[in-house]
A and B are shown apart, each in its own frame.
Chain A
Amino acid sequence: MSAYLAVSGVNKSFGGLQALHDTNFEIAKGKITCLVGPNGAGKTTIFNVITGFLPPDTGGVTFQGRSLDGLTRQQIVHQGIARTFQNLRLFIDLTALDNVLAAIPGQAGETPWGAIFRPFHTAAVQSRLRAQARQILDHVGLADRANDYVRNLSYGEQKLLSVARVLATGAQLLLLDEPASGMSAGALDNIMALMRRLQTEGKTLLVVEHNTRVVQRIADEVLFLHQGHLMAQGTAEEITSDPELAKIYFGGAI
């Protein structure tokens, strides 16, 4: 079986710092894969390489058997891969609904001439997309916050909104950068339930996560990254029961 997403032989250096060192892994379709490792292990760099935000020095990424080499960030989203950011990067002066709408691809009226010369067509399409965006917000549990500005949302709600925004792109592979960090216990349950729900709908998730309890509860597969190198791959139990990895993760000397 060919892998859904394959990262092969990726090296990436920033000056003298080698962030990714011959990184290889594959993830399977329809699974939740968690990417763990201590700070500076290269988790976010992996995200940046997969989504075209950073070109790898060597090596490459294939998605559904197709190489992503040389594709722009935009083209990679259109292939079906979308990401969130650790610091969310929401549009804080827009409403929750507009944040979601902004990510829906290929809208009428997204060019000045479309907007100016086909106003009725644009408005008709917008009202349809608005309904779609409301549905997405409803899906993540933010239906009642649709018309609120992002700056008035709680941190937990903002995290859910960042997930809503990647859903709006229509991508099938979702890269979530620490979706559960800094959340209260209740909000944590919410986001974990959401990730499970997305999985049952056929999405594939690659999740950077620090909270081992979250990892144990959601991960089908865990990738352990250390100093830009894939140290281990296995189930959550296998990874968390390995004393060597625990030592690295919790700051043992190595």
Chain B
Amino acid sequence: MDFWYTYIILAEIYVLLGLSTNLLVGIVGIFSVSQAAVFGVGAYIVAAATMSDTMSFVPALLVASACGLALNVLVTLPSLRVSGDYFVVTSFGIQLLATAIFTNWTGGTGGANGLPGIPPPDIFGIAVTETYQFLVLSTALLALGCLAFWLAMRAPYGRLLRAIREDELAVAAAGKNILFAKVSAAALAGAFAGSAGGLYGTFLSFVDPSSFDLDASILLLTMVVVGGARTLAGSIIGPFVLLALPQLLALVDIPTTVAAAARQLIYGVLLIAFMLFRPQGLAGEKL
């Protein structure tokens, strides 16, 4: 049973992160490949805060969320100056920079060895030690995240963001504040990614740089592409489908090193195949 719970919890965490990526990349059209960096910062903050007993889980998660928000605004700011293709390169650089810090700042992040022994979450005095308890926690947070995403997208705010992606100049001509809309979208996406990171580290009770590198950012984009851009359904389906893959490979009797390589290969093939043959993903719109 725990096998299934683990799969669902991880998928749920990635859905939260997928919502963040979908908002930024799918809806606003800011093509960021550094979302995993923000995810990582959230994870390290909760890890460091709860391991050192500075804070309990709930305030630590709030801090992680706030830091994700602030960081994502900073990371996205260049996109307001450089457009499209240039921003991809910029955010690529930001991702590499983040990985370098995660790997080399041994005092804060434990370097390549990571931070083991993150305590289980403690929700107002109730210790979440069992996997099924954690499932309740992650499901509750995911429900909140989905609700927020849905409310924002059906409101005029969602329409404003879609209009901006289509034609920024026309939105400006209608007297709307583009800068504010983009920065606030980045903030929202950052808060989602930061809290997803906090949940992730706590659930695994271990964080290391490999979960937050460029591969992770690209995996996220693959989830958005496969699930479907710009829709809530797409953001939910993508992570569940892609995270099922390693679980399925685990059932097949092949050596783990081969399985890891096979997984990367299949992810790559999926990304290319969807881009070519089904750009709207399983349940989304054309990117």
- A residues near B, CB below 8 A? 51, 53, 73-74, 76-78, 82-83, 85, 89-94, 98, 101-103, 105, 107-112, 114-116, 119, 122, 126, 165, 168-169
Contacts and interface: CB of A to CB of B under 8 A. Distances in A.
A107 B286 CA distance: 28
A168 B162 contact: no
Given A94-B162, A102-B156, A168-B174, 16 more contacts: A53-B169, A73-B172, A77-B173, A77-B175, A89-B167, A89-B169, A91-B170, A93-B166, A105-B175, A109-B157, A112-B152, A112-B157, A115-B151, A115-B156, A169-B174, A169-B175
Contact of B166 (A92, A115, A168): A92
Interface of B: 148, 151-152, 154-160, 162-163, 166-167, 169-177, 180-181, 184-185, 187-188, 285
A110 B285 CA distance: 22
A9 B171 CA distance: 29
29 contacts: A74-B172, A74-B176, A76-B175, A77-B173, A77-B175, A82-B175, A85-B170, A91-B163, A91-B167, A91-B170, A94-B166, A101-B156, A102-B156, A102-B159, A103-B174, A110-B155, A110-B156, A110-B176, A111-B157, A111-B180, A112-B184, A112-B187, A112-B188, A114-B155, A115-B152, A115-B156, A115-B158, A122-B155, A126-B156
A215 B154 CA distance: 43
A74 B175 contact: yes
A77 B155 contact: no
Contacts of B171: 102
Given A89-B169, A91-B163, A94-B162, A115 B174 contact: no
A59 B166 CA distance: 33
A94 B173 contact: no
Contacts of A85: 169-170, 173
A103 B164 CA distance: 12
B199 to A, nearest CB: 20
B173 A126 contact: no
A77 B170 CA distance: 12
Contacts of A83: 173
A77 B174 contact: yes
Nearest to B171: A102
A126 B155 contact: yes
Contact of B174 (A82, A94, A126): A82
Nearest to A107: B156
A83 B172 CA distance: 10
B156 A89 contact: no
Nearest to B189: A112
| Most chain B CB atoms below 10 A, which of A51, A74, A85, A94 | A74
A110 B184 CA distance: 11
Contacts of B181: 110
Contacts of B166: 91-94
A107 B158 CA distance: 12
Given A89-B169, A115-B158, A102 B148 contact: no
B156 A122 contact: yes
Given A89-B167, A112-B188, A102 B158 contact: no
A10 B164 CA distance: 31
A93 B162 CA distance: 9
| Most chain A CB atoms below 10 A, which of B156, B175, B176, B184 | B175
